[in-house]
Amino acid sequence: MHTERQSAALRPLEDVAPRPALDAVLRGLRSRCPACGEGPLFASNLKTHDYCPSCGEELHHHRADDLPAYLNIFVTGHVVLGAMMMIMALEILGMWTLTAATIAVGLVAAIALMRPLKGMVVGLQWALRMHGFGGDES
């Protein structure tokens, strides 16, 4: 006997409503529900709501795990390192001033990017029907 959720997972993809990935990713970047774009995605700093307060979409089964942190390291590292190397080449700042500024900018950028990147990953998982967002529990 199949439940409603199992039968939704067994339906052909033609019968399933499309979920635009770009819209879901942009909503996630703004820390909004990937389904409706109205409700807040996060209950606290990096903890997502179990359900969207606006539309009721289940959000508890996302598996963002380490991907937002890897993306954060990638983006922050390239931007901060590129800026640091350019400033070093132009000899605008002394070495100790540049070191202190690089550390400060790197920390601020990493902290500021973490939440939008996690929201983006959750939105992409929702759009691609990954990890239970498509009706199955896998």
Percent of the chain at pLDDT exceeding 90: 59
- Quick check: 65 pLDDT over 90? no
**pLDDT tier at 138, thresholds 50, 70, 90:** very low
Rounded CA gap, 117 and 98, in Å? 27
Which of 71-75, 112-116, 127-131, 133-137 comes out lowest in average pLDDT? 133-137
- Quick check: 124 pLDDT over 70? yes
What global pTM score does this model have?
0.80
Residue 60: exposure state from Cβ atoms within 10 A (0-12, 13-18, ≥19): exposed
**pLDDT tier at 3, thresholds 50, 70, 90:** very low
The tens digit of pLDDT for each residue in 74-95 reads 999 999 999 999 999 998 989 9
Listed in sequence order, the residues at least 6 apart from 5 whose beta carbon sits closer than 8 Å to its beta carbon are: 135, 136, 137
Helix (H, G, I), strand (E, B) or coil at 32: strand
